[in-house]
Structure 1
Amino acid sequence: MTGTKVIIAGGGVAGPVLGILLKRKGYDPIIYERLDAPTDMGLSLALQPNGLKVLSLIPDLIEKIPKREISETLLWSSLPEDERQLAHYEMPIKGLAGYGVNGARRPALLRTLIEEAQAQGVPVKFGHQLESFEQHEDSVTVQFANGTTDTASFVVGCDGLHSDTRVTLFGKEPVSFTGLTQTGGISPFPEAFRTKGMAPMFNIYGNGVHMIGYPVNENEISWAITQREAEAKENWRHMDEEQQKEFKQGPHSSLPFGGGELVRTAGRIVKYGLYDRPELSTWHKGRVVLIGDAAHPTSPHLGQGANQALEDCYHLTRLLLVHNPTGASPSTELLSTVFTEFETLRIARTSDLVKRARQQGEIRVISGVEACKKRNETVATMYGGPAKADDTALRVLLADLIEHPFKPGESEI
């Protein structure tokens, strides 16, 4: 017997995971992705305990993802007037699923998720960009830019920052450039790390610049340098050869603590602007709902974009099971109940994290020697100083992330 059909717009992190979770609960999801094939663009992401907890609901999936666990974090100041280690701490106790923080190359993760969805019977249709949809009493018909259509009981838009589903639901709105850009790449472990047997997440705080990096496998580190610059579009395409050469030989090539070596040895360099969008008061209309970056895009300074999308996948699936345990095609009224409860649970949490991420970006990228010195003291205090962090604001935040998405009284799916 065929289950209730669900159209999922977007084949990034959230789409395949939601598709698998729904398929395992008797629904009949189909994923439509605007790109013609799985993307090789983008650098990396940090899978944190809250996101890994969701992935652990899919048997054997986590073991298939190419990744590297991160056991410690180092923070340095590259300011010539204050060059030193600011803090060093071990990553927090592993979360509910027994996982810590893991770095992963984004293209490798996306390929793994798509392949797993297909293996579990979730069709993935590439080259289908959502253009419009028409809602009916008990279904939604989606029109794609290539001229094809499809109809399902309801639609979930998880098609990212430039979400066509969001535009169709709520109209065009400007994305908000944060004033910051990132330039990054993937590089071999620097000599200093190899010699000391280190594979940390690290932060280097400079004058008007911040660098972050972490391992994504046994041999490579992903890194990104944040600066306050003119707007650069978020298209994830690498610079041309001349621009890459110029960057690799530029001022960042002399960053201390291994940062400069990473810049010089990168395989390719990409540059992109950092954006978010205005907060929405609702994520749904009728039989269509948004999740992930389509609903709450964020700058990357807390590393929670993908992890919050995974929390969305979990809670949307859980609430569908709570309110529609048979999996029968739900009425619009029932979907409204599910989507409204979902929003009540998720909007406040994701909005807070979007704001915190922006604040982190502002703290990291400060110009002027005296202002940077003050920033360094703030960072050292926030992260517990050179010794292990203990009862710091960082620990409180990480403990909160570990606790989610499962709360007392919530049944696992």
Structure 2
Amino acid sequence: MNIAIIGGGVGGLATANALLRKGFKVQVYERAKVLRPIGAGLSLTPNGLNSLNAVQPGIAQTLIKAGSPIHTLILKRSTGETIASKSMEIMQRYGQPMLMIQWSKLQAILASVLPPEIIHLQHRCVGFEEQDDSVKIYFPDGKTVQADLLIGADGINSVVRQRIIGDEFPNYAGRMSWRALVRYSHKQLSPNATTVITSSNGQNSMLMDVGDGYTFWGTSALSADDYVNRRATDAKTHVLKIFAGWAEPVGAIIAATPAADIVERPICDRPPLDRWSKGRVTLLGDAAHPVVPSLGQGANTAFEDAYELAECLAVAPNIEAALNAYENSRIPRTAIIYDRSATQGYKAYQPDSENTFTEMMKPSFRSQDDFEAWLYRYNPIAQKRKVY
């Protein structure tokens, strides 16, 4: 089977690896001129690491060496006082750490295990047409390719999704975000630690050690509109103004970041779907189930998708049966993660957000512990496979 993947992000690359290891012929089409870091840094949780290990045994250890396992979670007020500090026992409980890593390193490691000739840059999908026994995919300048199956892994604004679902624009969650990666040292920034800083006026900040002396910072604030500044200098001025007066090191780390490195974006999601596929076309990752980043599950659930889709295609008698099994496996779980992400994300910006974060850090907060166990114990190798 010849399979085309639209999107060369981490979800698309992981899916290509999973499919190649099952013996399929795979080509990845990415619109960018080069594979470059997007989003600066992210968290890999046990479910995502387990899924990657299921695709390629041992890759989790490579990633752990490239990133920063988090040992401590710190909660602070915007005025600087420490509210709570929690020792992270993720590794002891689930066999994999909570790992913070640079996006560029994760992408490079996933790309390094693929034959370079299967990744086609500067290929922006502009449409496709399903035929009797194939899918014809269109690119600018009249270029086309044929495939037996098309996988849309092209993110929250997926072109593939629009062709089969047609739900147009994502839902704006009422919050704007700014984030960047910077090599920066400060006495309040500890190695292997993540600091969450909250306020009562709908603003939050997070500082994460991602290894090699780099810190990933992210800030977000309630906003009536989703306007994005055209000039990088204006975006930096804007975020500095919003977080002026916050205790260090928030203002200092933003000021130390080159304006061109700051990503300003609205926070968006899309409500769960009851189907991801149509004929010989399906969706994966943020193209299928984008959520707000309150749980850090975007990449992790994409890795779950990658393993499950490859397994279903490998054992099902035909594409239709494989995609049905894939949806039955993935849609219920990702819908639960969407609900939790949306609820937790909303609460994090309310006037009592300090109480919300504090309760989440308490070991006695049983509903959080139960959800965490359900989320992080996901190990696809241990899942029972459907017999076709």
Q: Could you say whether these structures have the same fold, taking a TM-score greater than 0.5 normalized by the shorter chain as the test?
A: yes
- What's the % identity of the aligned pairs? 26
Distance 2:313 2:218 in 1: 38
Alpha-carbon distance, 1:358 to partner? 1.8
Alpha-carbon distance, 1:253 to partner? 4.6
**Residues 51, 310 of structure 1: 8 Å contact kept:** yes
- Could you tell me which residue of structure 2 aligns to residue 244 of structure 1? 236
Structure 1 counterpart SS, 2:308: helix
Identify which of 350, 360, 383 aligns with 1:382: 360
Alpha-carbon distance, 1:74 to partner? 1.0
**Residues 383, 392 of structure 1: 8 Å contact kept:** no
**Residues 30, 122 of structure 2: 8 Å contact kept:** yes
Using the TM superposition, name which of 29-38 and 165-174 deviates more: 165-174
Alpha-carbon distance, 1:76 to partner? 1.5
Deviations 1:323-379 (A, max 9, x none): 25xxxxxxxxx222111121122112112212221222211112xxxxx3x432333
Q: How does 1:59-138 map to 2 (within 5 A)?
A: 59-65=57-63, 66-78=66-78, 84-94=81-91, 98-118=95-115, 123-138=118-133
* 1:393 aligned partner, one-letter code: S
Alpha-carbon distance, 1:245 to partner? 4.7
1:74–1:97 CA distance, 2 compared to 1 (3 A): closer
Structure 2 counterpart SS, 1:193: coil
Structure 2 counterpart SS, 1:285: coil
Deviations 1:250-279 (A, max 9, x none): 352542263333223224322110111233
Alpha-carbon distance, 1:187 to partner? 3.2
Distance 2:285 2:198 in 1: 30
- Could you tell me which residue of structure 2 aligns to residue 300 of structure 1? 293
**Residues 226, 365 of structure 1: 8 Å contact kept:** no
Identify which of 144, 147, 152 aligns with 1:152: 147
- Could you tell me which residue of structure 2 aligns to residue 218 of structure 1? 212
- Could you tell me which residue of structure 2 aligns to residue 311 of structure 1? 304
**Residues 136, 144 of structure 2: 8 Å contact kept:** yes
Deviations 1:104-132 (A, max 9, x none): 2223322332232235xx60111112222
* 1:58 aligned partner, one-letter code: Q
- Could you tell me which residue of structure 1 aligns to residue 376 of structure 2? 402
Unaligned runs of 5+ in 2: none
**Residues 192, 257 of structure 1: 8 Å contact kept:** no
1:239–1:200 CA distance, 2 compared to 1 (3 A): farther
- Could you tell me which residue of structure 2 aligns to residue 357 of structure 1? 341
- Could you tell me which residue of structure 2 aligns to residue 346 of structure 1? 330
Distance 1:309 1:289 in 2: 13
Aligned residues: 380
1:146–1:117 CA distance, 2 compared to 1 (3 A): farther
Distance 1:88 1:377 in 2: 14
Distance 1:123 1:233 in 2: 37
- Could you tell me which residue of structure 2 aligns to residue 262 of structure 1? 253
TM-score normalised by the chain length of structure 1: 0.84
Unaligned runs of 5+ in 1: 325-333, 367-371
Alpha-carbon distance, 1:402 to partner? 1.7
* 1:67 aligned partner, one-letter code: G
- Could you tell me which residue of structure 1 aligns to residue 225 of structure 2? 231
Distance 2:126 2:76 in 1: 47
Using the TM superposition, name which of 16-25 and 394-403 deviates more: 394-403
Deviations 1:26-46 (A, max 9, x none): 111110112222133322111
Structure 2 counterpart SS, 1:180: strand
Deviations 1:65-103 (A, max 9, x none): 43211112111222x5xx643332222332798321111
1:36–1:409 CA distance, 2 compared to 1 (3 A): closer
1:378–1:93 CA distance, 2 compared to 1 (3 A): closer
**Residues 51, 311 of structure 1: 8 Å contact kept:** yes
Alpha-carbon distance, 1:16 to partner? 1.0
Alpha-carbon distance, 1:317 to partner? 1.1
Distance 2:192 2:184 in 1: 8
